[in-house]
Amino acid sequence: MERYESLGLVGEGSYGAVLKCRHRDSGRLVAIKKFLDSDDDKTVKKIALREIKLLRRLRHGNLVNLLEVWKRRRHWYLVFEFVERTLLEDLEQNPSGLDLNTSRQYLYQILRAAAFCHQQNIIHRDIKPENILISQGGVVKLCDFGFARTVALPAEGIVYTDYVATRWYRAPELLVGDIKYGKPVDVWAVGCLLLEMLTGQPLFPGDSDLDQIYHILLFLLCFSIFTGFQRS
């Protein structure tokens, strides 16, 4: 960290913190993710190593760029390009939703990022507004690959954990405990994001898994009634 000057805390999570920093020689702004003591906590260590491994493989204009990695005093440090804001911040500043053109531009880039990951046989599993970075020029970058993983082949018989994705963006198969899901869980999350960008409100704001399922079923019921009226 001696090569970088800390400019403040960007965010904190269950597994570490993200700092905005400046490289002392070049002046380049970066975001440095510092994981908690990963040697003592197997979960943190697994998440850190998984993110490092996947991001070294994934290079795309709509994915956050991992610049360097090091370990010091039992902590992993990941250095990323600095991107100015998140989609969550945009939504907080626009409580009635984003304009249609902006939503289209963001959606196109989010889909490009997800499609590229899926082409590499990787599912993100935690697509949400906080994990969508947006530059001043409007370039979208998908970030935080701590829950991402490679999709197993059916013949391998590997099962996944069902506790991934923030609840509001969690696909129904995750809510009911399915452990053999795939790429559609990312597509569901992107669909939730689209409606939130257009309205400014989360589509399914459940306060528990059961309440989340209730919101989804209520939406489907209302949608079927509405489309039934439209046809008649």
Which pLDDT tens digit goes with each residue over 22-59?
Answer: 999 999 999 999 987 766 778 888 888 889 999 998 99
- Does the annotation count 39 as an active-site position? no
Asked if residues 125 and 165 have their Cβ atoms less than 8 Å apart, the reply is yes
The second-level CATH assignment, the architecture, of 85-231 is Orthogonal Bundle (1.10)
What torsion do the CA atoms of 191, 100, 58, 114 make, to the nearest 10 degrees?
A: 20
- Residues of the chain with pLDDT > 70, as a percent, come to 90
**CA terminus-to-terminus distance, the chain:** 66
List the binding residues.
34
Say what the pTM is.
0.88
CATH superfamily of 4-81: Phosphorylase Kinase; domain 1 (3.30.200.20)
Q: CATH 3.30.200.20 residue ranges in the chain?
A: 4-81
Q: Annotated binding site for ATP: which residue ranges?
A: 34
DSSP state of 63: B
Which is nearest to 206 in space by CA: 156, 171, 154?
A: 171
The Cα–Cα gap between 69 and 76 comes to: 7
Is residue 187 predicted with pLDDT exceeding 70? yes
Residue 182 Cα to chain centre, angstroms: 16
To the nearest whole number, what is the mean pLDDT of the chain? 89
CA 53/CA 32 separation, integer angstroms: 17
Which of these is catalytic: 40, 41, 90, 126? Answer: 126
Which of the 8 DSSP states describes residue 36?
A: S
Q: Which residues in the chain are classed under CATH 1.10.510.10? A: 85-231
- Nearest Cα to 169, choosing from 215, 220, 113, 134? 215
